[in-house]
Structure 1
Amino acid sequence: MYPEAYIDYLAEFHGSRDYFECHEILEEHWKKEPLGARKLYWVGLIQLAVALYHQRRNNFTGAKRLMANSIRILEGEQTAVESLGLDYSRLISLLKHTYRKIESHSPYESIMLPIADKALEERCRKKCEQQSYPWGRTSVVQDAFLIDKHRLRDRSEVLAEREKEIARRKKSRGR
Structure 2
Amino acid sequence: MYPEAYIDYLAYFHGKRDYFECHEVLEEHWKKEGMQNGVWVGLIQIAVSLYHQRRGNVEGARRMMESAIKRLDGQKENIAALGLDHSLLLEQLKKRLSDITSRFPYTDMNLPVTDKSLFNECCQSIKKHGSSWGAMSDMDNDQIIHKHRTRDRSEIIREREAQKRRKNTAAE
Q: TM-score, normalised by structure 1?
A: 0.89
Taking the aligned partners of 1:56 and 1:49, their CA distance within structure 2 comes to: 11
Mapping for residues 1-175 of structure 1, pairs under 5 Å: 1-33=1-33, 38-163=36-161
Of stretches 151-160 and 16-25 in structure 1, the one that deviates more from structure 2 is 151-160
Taking the aligned partners of 1:144 and 1:44, their CA distance within structure 2 comes to: 25
Unaligned runs of 5+ in 2: none
List per-residue Cα deviations over 1:67-125 (Å, max 9, x = no partner). 01111111110100000000111111111111111010011100010100000000000
Identity over aligned pairs, percent: 50
List per-residue Cα deviations over 1:108-162 (Å, max 9, x = no partner). 1000101000000000000001122222101112211222111111223333444
Contact 1:50 1:66 in 2 (8 A): yes
Letter in 1 for 2:41: V
Taking the aligned partners of 2:32 and 2:128, their CA distance within structure 1 comes to: 26
Taking the aligned partners of 1:82 and 1:91, their CA distance within structure 2 comes to: 10
Taking the aligned partners of 1:127 and 1:109, their CA distance within structure 2 comes to: 23
Could you tell me how far 1:33 is from its partner in structure 2?
Answer: 3.0
Taking the aligned partners of 1:152 and 1:165, their CA distance within structure 2 comes to: 24
Aligned residues: 172
Aligned Cα RMSD in Å?
A: 2.0
Q: TM-score, normalised by structure 2?
A: 0.91
Could you tell me how far 1:38 is from its partner in structure 2?
Answer: 4.9
Runs of 4 or more above 3 Å deviation: 159-170
Taking the aligned partners of 2:114 and 2:141, their CA distance within structure 1 comes to: 30
Taking the aligned partners of 1:33 and 1:115, their CA distance within structure 2 comes to: 22
